Structure 1
């Protein structure tokens, strides 16, 4: 456990603190900060996701049907519960709740999975199987779902803003007609220049680009826009490669590894930069997200795992519980920072949960065998 703290947890905290300090002294301007986020989100993270997933095999997925089913369904269910609870209790927009689910509902399995599980359980087939399953569902399923919801929320905001602009235009025309003459209309209220059309998007902090105006169905447009992002299609392509049975030659791995290795460090640094731009929040929402990530999610997996008969292999169940009890996925805070959505709560949750994991990690290692 001491090795995990020194080699895994402390470096995360130190690098995040470095990013926070760089942000406070304005070492990076906004363009440079967004550039770092873009490098991670569009290049380094997709490469890291692709190469981590293609190392799995169909045999690994079929080896333990209960573990595979529980991993896939459990992560997706906990992701969606986090999304709906964020909408219900904290009244956030669709895109803000989507980023919340990417952070509070998804573990950073790609970054800390091997670093935490290997020293505790050993570098075994079972360890690799658990990490592969959780990594695939987090990277190839929940990230595309999150991106889809973000684009869906943006599309909804755009429609509401356009409707508000149209209503303002009709109101101005009605007032002008009622006065019985040509009345000069304030150019700030002109539908062609109406800034109110930006209010909904601005308040939701969604700076992403609007695409696919030619697609009338907002759900289809949001899905297509999400699938165009490298962070979505790269893991999906990887899982297709695994299911087809294509093996990527070992000689190809270093090509991806070189850029993928930049992902974790730059992602944590960028998380610190994002945190420096907002006022740190240790409110009820941050506390709830941390509890949901570190306690509620693994407790749910433990209970369902016991009900599904995994109690006969307590080591594998313990690995599964610990893998979903990891701190928030750094891909969530990168997406948050890149699109300027849910930054304060997301960065605060990432920082608090990473520090608290040092204690909850010990808790689950001790508690699962007792159950």
Structure 2
């Protein structure tokens, strides 16, 4: 099992290392990555997420409702706890806290979901469907929370937000929904729900763009990290422990509370037990927000999940 985990993590580190080296050697300007960020956030990732959700049968999504409940509850509880801890205790700015909490709360479904789940449950249509549903949950039901906060603070800094957050909520929601990273997967879910099938020619046309998404995002993350210094502090330690141990434990408790067993229960816990995803760091960069804590958690969790994942694989073996 350790070999499987290392094998799944290897591409992540290799591609991030290439990005890191490109930034350090100035092959890529690591101080100005706006063009690469636009490609990742407005084209590659939206295309990948749209393709994943629009090709996921609505009947299959409905059958995965227990999995969706596990994932959403575990992500929302973690997001709320880390955000208020970062803002209330460690006095982080709302932008920094939003990027950090998205990094902690949203597992790396895109890069690690299929290799890890496939090694435990076996590769097949049901495994692919579970991973697609997990990606859709994170994209549609969690990332907008981060975008709302980033848009709110952007409006405040520009002097637009003179009203309360609740009064500004419709405007902030509209700004978030307008972004391809949100409406891409959301449109896919809607089309799947109403039974509209995309022409094969269209899906084939955007497939290369979607295939480049994870690699481009990891490369961009490496470039961003090359301009920073790794800093370990109390917030980073707490966030890393939360990502690796507490959040999967929350998912495990939810599974027990709901009395779930079998494949759905195992999938719910293992998807949450994956290392932190790169969305938070990439989102923050798009808004000009640098979060050294989020970057540190991303690296630490990616390394230490080699130890934490076998623990939760063992725990779920009896479900």
Q: Say yes or no: TM over 0.5.
A: yes
Q: Is the 8 A contact 1:104 1:292 kept in 2?
A: yes
Query: 1:238 is matched with which residue?
Result: 188
More off after superposition, 361-370 vs 3-12: 3-12
Query: 2:171 is matched with which residue?
Result: 221
Query: 1:340 is matched with which residue?
Result: 288
Query: 1:69 is matched with which residue?
Result: 69
Q: 1:31, 1:280 → 2: CA distance? A: 16
Q: Is the 8 A contact 1:96 1:150 kept in 2?
A: no
Query: 2:39 is matched with which residue?
Result: 39
Superposed counterparts of 1:49-64, under 5 Å: 49-64=49-64
Compute the displacement of 1:110 (Å): 2.0
Q: Is the 8 A contact 2:150 2:287 kept in 1?
A: no
- Say whether 1:264 aligns with 2:214: yes
More off after superposition, 101-110 vs 150-159: 150-159
- Say whether 1:354 aligns with 2:302: yes
Query: 1:283 is matched with which residue?
Result: 233
Alpha-carbon RMSD: 2.4
Q: 1:54, 1:292 → 2: CA distance? A: 32
Query: 2:243 is matched with which residue?
Result: 293
Alignment: residue pair count = 317
Q: 1:283, 1:93 → 2: CA distance? A: 16
Q: 1:322, 1:38 → 2: CA distance? A: 31
| Runs of 4+ displaced beyond 4 Å | none
Query: 1:248 is matched with which residue?
Result: 198
Superposed counterparts of 1:104-115, under 5 Å: 104-115=104-115
- Say whether 1:135 aligns with 2:135: yes
More off after superposition, 344-353 vs 216-225: 216-225
Q: Is the 8 A contact 1:275 1:348 kept in 2?
A: no
Q: 1:285, 1:322 → 2: CA distance? A: 24
- Say whether 1:324 aligns with 2:272: yes
Unaligned runs of 5+ in 1: 164-215
TM-score (norm. length: structure 1): 0.78
Q: Is the 8 A contact 1:71 1:137 kept in 2?
A: yes
| 1:76–1:245 Cα change, 3 Å | farther
Q: 2:192, 2:113 → 1: CA distance? A: 20
TM-score (norm. length: structure 2): 0.90
